[in-house]
A = this chain, B = another copy of it.
Amino acid sequence: MTGLRFDVGDAVLAAAAWSRLAEPADAVAGALVRTIGAGSALRWLDASQDQAARGVAELVERGVVAPAAAPALVRGVDRWRPRLAVLDPARELRVLARLGGRVVLPGSPGWPAGLDDLGAEAPFCLWVRGRSVDAGGAAIVGARASTEYGNQVASDLATGLADRGVVVVSGGAYGIDAAAHRGALAAGGASVAVLAGGVDRLYPAGNARLLEALCDAGAVTSEVPPGSVPSRVRFLQRNRLIAALTVATVVVEAAWRSGALSTAGRAAELLRPVGAVPGPVTSAASAGCHRLLREQGAVCVTDAAEVAELVGAAGEHLPAARPDEHRPGDGLAERERRVFEALPLRRGAGTAALSRAAGLGTQDTMAAAGTLELAGLAVRDLDGWRRVNNPPGRNGSEVR
């Protein structure tokens, strides 16, 4: 027993401590903390660290832990112990406070309820700089190695979402992530970056100014304390937060194999809708999106209205109907359309010839010709019926 150099009864300090002790998505730590509380779990760990088996046996005896879970908990103690001696959450909180940030605890105001869907893999707390991270919204994610096309689409989608009041959530990477944040900011909207490392390290450095801007207009958040490095494992686990924080996840560009696909996979596991933006089949940067469409049942999304529909909010988010081009003959019944098609353009045709051309009886042909005349599409001259040359809405001679 080394003795903990902070007040484990302080809920914020205790949660902060666990966010340092355990790696993201450590379900054993998550289950322990959710069962006996972060402070009690810390006291128990401190007392049991050199005699893990005995400490676990006591929890089993007290009925806190199922016997079958005991081995996993013993291994957990072995994982967490190396960091126990160097634990100093108060210092990490001071670093965060100097940056104007705060820690948000599960169930407290500002905690995104969607994170609870992660169960035992939910974070112990969120380290937040900026405004609210509890806004639902849409994840707009994708490759760092994006194309100009992908960047433009990501930015346009985010702008359109911001215009609709939908918060954009992404990582902090170059490429699609950055383009999405920029698009949201450009429209005066809110955008949230979820980092794999500590929020004191605005990584990558080239995006530091963008991420600083998010601290004003949106938020930057992480589940690991200040000072934590963004390792590859943490990047992958970070993706589960992006998926869980949001109502829907959209992948804008992704290579055949890409971290953005893991975010989509997490979203699907959480039963959140997944959208994918198509691109040229000749672009390797769209191959992952096409894979999602082809293999994972992702929804094809091409504009912000369609993303908003995926988010499934109020009617104002529904995409407007596309304006269909209008052609003469549109909206005609089958009989009238056939006669219209059969009408000569110049010299009129008699009823018999028109009937043959239309493949209709003479009575039907005459009735249809009359209807077309009333609609301003046909006219009768000395030779018979012909088309009106410039009917209302005429725009060409498309025949297909």
Contact = CB atoms under 8 A, between A and B. Distances in A.
A256 B75 contact: no
A400 B82 contact: no
Contacts of A97: none
Interface in A237-259: 256-259
Nearest to A330: B257
Interface stretch (A56-64, A88-96, A179-187, A361-369): A361-369
A229 to B, nearest CB: 8
15 contacts: A75-B361, A79-B364, A83-B359, A86-B356, A232-B329, A256-B324, A259-B400, A277-B281, A278-B280, A278-B290, A278-B300, A279-B280, A280-B280, A287-B302, A294-B306
A232 B334 CA distance: 12
A219 interface: no
Interface in A269-320: 277-282, 286-287, 289-290, 293-294, 299-303, 306
A299 to B, nearest CB: 6
Contacts of A22: 359
Interface residues of A, number: 66
Contacts of A359: 22-23, 26, 79-80, 83
Contacts of A82: 352, 355-356, 360-362, 365
A153 interface: yes
Nearest to A83: B356
Contact of A281 (B79, B257, B303, B363): B303
A165 interface: no
Nearest to A262: B400
A68 interface: no
A387 interface: no
B356 A233 contact: no
Contacts of A282: 149, 152-153
A78 interface: yes
Nearest to A145: B398
Interface in A306-348: 306, 322, 324-325, 329, 337-338, 341-342
Interface of A: 22-23, 26, 75, 77-83, 86, 144, 149, 152-153, 173, 230-233, 235-236, 256-259, 277-282, 286-287, 289-290, 293-294, 299-303, 306, 322, 324-325, 329, 337-338, 341-342, 352, 355-356, 359-365, 398-400
B79 A341 contact: no
A26 B335 CA distance: 12
Nearest to A149: B280
B79 A230 contact: no
Most chain-B CB neighbours within 10 Å: which of A232, A337, A360? A232
Contacts of A26: 359
Contacts of A289: 278
B300 A361 contact: no
Contact of A78 (B78, B258, B364): B364
B281 A286 contact: no
A176 to B, nearest CB: 12
Given A232-B400, A279-B280, A294-B302, 4 more contacts: A230-B399, A280-B280, A281-B303, A294-B301
Contact of A400 (B77, B235, B294): B235
Closest 9 CB pairs of A and B: A78-B361, A278-B278, A23-B359, A82-B355, A293-B300, A259-B400, A281-B302, A294-B300, A231-B341
